[in-house]
Structure 1
Amino acid sequence: MKKMSMLLAALLLAPAPALAADYKCHGNRVEKSGSTQYTVRTSGADITIEKGGGTRGRAVKRGGGYAVEVGGSTQATIENGRIYKGGSTWATVSDAQRVYDCPDTVAATLWVLAQTGQL
């Protein structure tokens, strides 16, 4: 009985395994379950997310961060590891990377596009 309670205690104190991201970047592709969902294009420091040849949104380099734009309208900004909407912290880049296993700006851009219904 003592061994059982020690095993139970050890299991309860063990760190939880990290959850795997739903989406993963492979080169310029964003895949889910091995199937390409989005294409990532870069031009200088700017990043464009495409699906089916159409642009879903862009991350445009501005100063020390990025502005995430849809149709030329800024939806959010990414700076210092945080995603801002209207000047307030909306999420962290780490939050985005839990869903999108991609480079930080790509993950954050995909996250913003998903939150705004643009993906």
Structure 2
Amino acid sequence: MKKLSMLLAVLSLASAPAFAADYKCNGNRVEKGGSTQYTVRTSGSDIAIEKGGGTRGRAVKRGSDYAVEVGGSTQATIENGRIYKGGSTWGSVSEAQRIYDCPDIVAATLWVLEQKGQL
């Protein structure tokens, strides 16, 4: 009986999701616990992250990659699933999506803004 209960406990853990993101995109909103935290605005292929009507930062398309800008200054670039700061790998898009359940560029932009203390 003890072996059966241990087996059931292991199986219940195995079926649990690997992660649960803190934030989730719902349309043009980024929500936490069902409450809107940020708004995502798009203009062509560029993406702006807003809160309270003010822009916190944006991802600007440059060729095949994106530059994440805060106040017009580039803070990071996003390309090939990686986030770069000063030419060195800073993080990954998949890492960002574990926190922000959003499309890749949106999640990566939010992640950069969080790292820079801009959210």
Instruction: Specify whether residues 91 and 16 from structure 1 end up closer, same or farther in structure 2 by C-alpha distance, changes over 3 A only.
Output: farther
RMSD over aligned Cα atoms:
2.1
Aligned match of 2:19: 19
Superposition deviation, residue 104 in structure 1 = 0.2
Aligned residue for 2:84, secondary structure, equals strand
SS at match of 2:20: coil
Q: Give the whole-Å Cα distance in 2 for the aligned partners of 1:3 and 1:111.
A: 43
Structure 1 alignment gaps of length 5 or more: none
Distance 1:34 1:14 in 2: 27
Task: Give the number of equivalent residue pairs.
Answer: 118
The TM-score with structure 1 as length reference comes to: 0.89
Map 1:40-55 → 2, pairs under 5 A = 40-55=40-55
Render the CA deviation track for 1:37-56: whole Å, top value 9, x for unaligned.
Answer: 00000000000000000000
Unaligned runs of 5+ in 2: none
What letter corresponds to residue 39 of structure 2 in structure 1?
T
Q: Which amino acid in 2 is paired with 1:81?
A: G
Residue 98 of structure 2 is matched in structure 1 by 98
Alpha-carbon distance in structure 2 between the residues aligned to 1:2 and 1:31: 42
Q: Give the equivalent residue in structure 2 for 1:33.
A: 33
Shift of residue 2 of structure 1? 8.5
Segments ≥4 residues shifted beyond 2 Å: 1-4, 10-17
Secondary structure at the counterpart of residue 50 of structure 1: strand
Shift of the 34–2 alpha-carbon distance from structure 1 to 2, 3 Å rule, reads: closer
Q: Identity across aligned pairs (percent)?
A: 85
Which residue does the alignment assign to 1:112? Answer: 112
- Matched AA of 1:116: K
How far apart in 2 are the matches of 1:112 and 1:68?
7
